């Protein structure tokens, strides 16, 4: 259940970013309103996630932010046809690795304590 909510938080936050990006290019009021709605849903679900998960704010935020960021990066590659430099790719790998290590560390410390 928590993983599904984290995914929805990431998806709605990414959708909000994509829509605000579209609004910045087109000045469409519809894109702006959809972006605000998407971000509102994302923030409410994030709050519920904090309540249900029992994890710290920092850890919950990191996981949600990485999911959000990965979805934006996928959008950039497939929809916007962005090309990344080698250094940018290394940064992405380091960031994802950091989140995995943080999650594993939390799981181990929870099991021990």
Residues in the chain: 113
Only one residue has tokens 């249900």, namely 52
| Confidence (pLDDT) at 71 | 87
| Confidence (pLDDT) at 113 | 60
From first to last of the 113 residues of the chain, give the pLDDT tens digit.
777 888 888 889 999 988 998 899 888 899 999 999 999 999 999 888 888 877 777 777 777 888 888 888 888 889 889 898 999 889 988 987 887 787 777 767 766 66
User: Measured between alpha carbons, how far is 95 from 92 in angstroms, rounded to an integer?
Assistant: 5
Domain that holds residue 18: 2-112
Instruction: Please measure the distance between the N-terminal and C-terminal CA atoms of the chain and give it in whole angstroms.
Output: 23
CA nearest neighbour of 74 among 17, 2, 3: 17
Q: Is the dihedral angle over the CA atoms 86, 89, 91, 93 positive or is it negative?
A: negative
User: Measured between alpha carbons, how far is 98 from 2 in angstroms, rounded to an integer?
Assistant: 20
Q: What's the total number of domains in the chain?
A: 1
| Confidence (pLDDT) at 41 | 94
Q: Is the dihedral angle over the CA atoms 16, 21, 22, 28 positive or is it negative?
A: positive
| Reported pTM | 0.71
């Amino acid at each position: 259940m928590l993983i599904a909510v984290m995914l929805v938080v990431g998806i709605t936050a990414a959708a909000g970013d994509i829509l605000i990006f579209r609004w910045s290019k087109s000045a469409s009021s519809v894109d702006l309103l959809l972006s605000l709605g998407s971000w509102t849903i994302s923030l409410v679900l994030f709050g519920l996630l904090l309540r249900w998960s029992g994890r710290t704010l920092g850890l919950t935020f990191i996981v949600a932010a990485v999911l959000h960021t990965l979805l934006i990066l996928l959008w950039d590659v497939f929809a916007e046809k962005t090309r990344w430099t080698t250094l940018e790719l290394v940064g992405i790998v380091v960031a994802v690795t950091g989140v995995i290590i943080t999650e594993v560390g939390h799981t181990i410390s929870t099991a021990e304590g």
